[in-house]
């Protein structure tokens, strides 16, 4: 590769390093520029200088993958952010500055030992903190763990979870590239009905909410999706009803939030028009994240 290329590369690294020192972790790059950069990148026989690798150990995404995460205000930026630092230091509250994975591990430890809701701590089998990619750009937030989730320690491990997986896959993603959690981390108890289920109470939601807020602050997704009325009301404090709120962009902790129906609702109401409404919400999410939407995807769940 030419000297000019290495001079340009060095200048770019200097600039990105300065930005990182100023607290900037992502910069927008247009697809045209990204393609040009990819075309100019050194080949395997001309490896990039080590300093490039120290900025990011991940390759630039070939398509708008949901990891890595965007700048906190990515929703207002052009798509295709590139990674400047994948191990962003995170200040826990209170606590030292930690790398993201270490901060998450500390959060997980606290959640697993949590007994703030004594009745839920006594009845649960597992604390279901969440699952997925810590660098996800998309976070789904459900209501509370069900019996299967409690058993396995995973959110959305049941039939509604299978439908959520299909929705994610229809968006062109996998569960590994998003983050899934619930507004309450322990299964709401049902004394005398071991297999029963109930909504979490307002008190339980308020007690557990700090865990979710910490997860959001740590992962910093570009978009939140609230699944169902309970999650939406718990986050927004609005009681307008999911039917009125779904499809309307909201904001939570400065992040765009899309309320939509819970997958369980779709299982109980297997109507094409309801599936279409959820899908239209997901199309909005994809557009907000700068993901490509094919004509085929646009046409899903429309009447034949």
Q: Which two tokens stand for residue 94?
A: 């209170």
Contact call for residue 111 and ligand SF4 (CB under 6 A):
yes
Least distance between ligand SF4 and beta carbon 144 (Å): 8
- Over the window 189 to 228, marking each residue x when it contacts ligand SF4 by CB under 6 A and - when it does not, the resulting string is ---------------x--xx--x-----------------
Contact call for residue 121 and ligand SF4 (CB under 6 A):
yes
Give yes or no for a contact between 122 and 163, defined as CB atoms under 8 angstroms apart.
no
Looking at the Cβ atoms of 56 and 207, the one nearer to ligand SF4 is 207
Contact call for residue 168 and ligand SF4 (CB under 6 A):
no
Residue of the chain from 137, 175, 185, 246 that contacts ligand SF4 (CB under 6 A): 185
Least distance between ligand SF4 and beta carbon 145 (Å): 9
Binding span for ligand SF4 by CB under 6 A among 52-60, 77-85, 179-187, 278-286: 179-187
Phi, psi of 81 (to 5 degrees): -70, 150
Residue of the chain from 84, 107, 127, 282 that contacts ligand SF4 (CB under 6 A): 127
Looking at the Cβ atoms of 151 and 280, the one nearer to ligand SF4 is 151
Least distance between ligand SF4 and beta carbon 261 (Å): 24
Contact call for residue 187 and ligand SF4 (CB under 6 A):
no
Looking at the Cβ atoms of 39 and 191, the one nearer to ligand SF4 is 191
Least distance between ligand SF4 and beta carbon 209 (Å): 8
Contact call for residue 107 and ligand SF4 (CB under 6 A):
no
Looking at the Cβ atoms of 131 and 184, the one nearer to ligand SF4 is 184
Give yes or no for a contact between 257 and 287, defined as CB atoms under 8 angstroms apart.
no
The number of residues that bind ligand SF4 (CB under 6 A) is 15
Least distance between ligand SF4 and beta carbon 55 (Å): 37
Let me know the angle formed at the C-alpha of 27 by 77 and 46, rounded to the nearest 5 degrees: 140
Contact call for residue 231 and ligand SF4 (CB under 6 A):
no
3-state SS string for the chain: CCHHHHHHHHHHHHHHHHHHHCCCCEEECCHHHHHHHHHHCCCCCCCCCHHHHHHCCCCCCCCCCCCCCCCCCHHHCCCCEEECCCCCEEECCCCCEEEHHHHHHHHHHHHHCCCCCHHHHHHCCCCCCCEECCCCCEEEEECCCCHHHHHHCCCCCCHHHHHHHHHHHHCCCCHHHCEEEECCCCCCCCCCCCCCCCCCCHHHHHHHHHHHHHHHHHHCCCEEEEECHHHHHHHHCCCCCHHHHCCCCEEECCEEEEEECCHHHHHHCCCHHHHHHHHHHHHHHHHHCCCCCCHHHHCCCCCC
Binding span for ligand SF4 by CB under 6 A among 23-31, 43-51, 69-77, 110-118: 110-118
Query: How far is the C-alpha of 73 from the C-alpha of 83, rounded, in Å?
Result: 15
Q: Which two tokens stand for residue 140?
A: 């789904």
Residue of the chain from 107, 114, 258, 286 that contacts ligand SF4 (CB under 6 A): 114
Contact call for residue 186 and ligand SF4 (CB under 6 A):
yes
Looking at the Cβ atoms of 132 and 222, the one nearer to ligand SF4 is 132
Binding site for ligand SF4 (CB under 6 A): 111, 114-117, 120-121, 127, 184-186, 204, 207-208, 211
């Amino acid at each position: 590769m030419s000297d000019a290329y290495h001079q340009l590369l060095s200048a770019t690294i200097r600039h990105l390093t300065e930005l990182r020192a100023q607290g900037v972790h992502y910069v927008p790059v247009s697809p045209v520029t990204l393609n040009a950069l990819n075309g100019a990148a050194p080949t395997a026989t001309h490896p990039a200088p080590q300093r490039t690798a120290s900025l990011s150990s991940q390759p630039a995404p070939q398509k708008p993958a949901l990891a890595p995460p965007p700048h906190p205000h990515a929703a207002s930026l052009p798509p295709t952010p590139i990674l400047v630092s994948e191990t962003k230091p995170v200040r826990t509250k209170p606590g030292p500055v930690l790398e993201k994975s270490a901060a998450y591990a500390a959060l997980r430890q606290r959640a697993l030992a949590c007994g703030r809701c004594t009745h839920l701590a006594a009845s649960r089998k597992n604390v279901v903190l969440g699952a997925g990619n810590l660098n996800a750009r998309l976070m789904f937030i459900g209501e509370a763990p069900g019996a299967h989730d409690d058993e396995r320690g995973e959110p959305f491990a049941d039939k509604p979870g299978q439908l959520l997986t299909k929705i994610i896959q229809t968006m062109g993603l996998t569960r590994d590239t998003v983050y899934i959690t619930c507004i309450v981390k322990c299964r709401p108890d049902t004394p005398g009905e071991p297999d029963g289920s109930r909504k979490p109470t307002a008190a339980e939601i308020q007690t557990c909410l700090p865990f979710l807020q910490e997860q959001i602050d740590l992962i910093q997704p570009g978009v939140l999706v609230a699944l169902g009325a309970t999650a939406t009301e718990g986050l927004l404090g609005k009681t307008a009803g999911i039917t009125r709120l779904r499809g309307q962009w909201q904001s939570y902790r400065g992040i765009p939030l899309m309320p939509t129906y819970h997958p369980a609702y779709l299982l109980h109401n297997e109507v094409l028009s309801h599936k279409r409404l959820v899908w239209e919400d997901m199309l909005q999410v994809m557009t907000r994240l700068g993901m490509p939407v094919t004509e085929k995807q646009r046409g899903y769940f429309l009447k034949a």
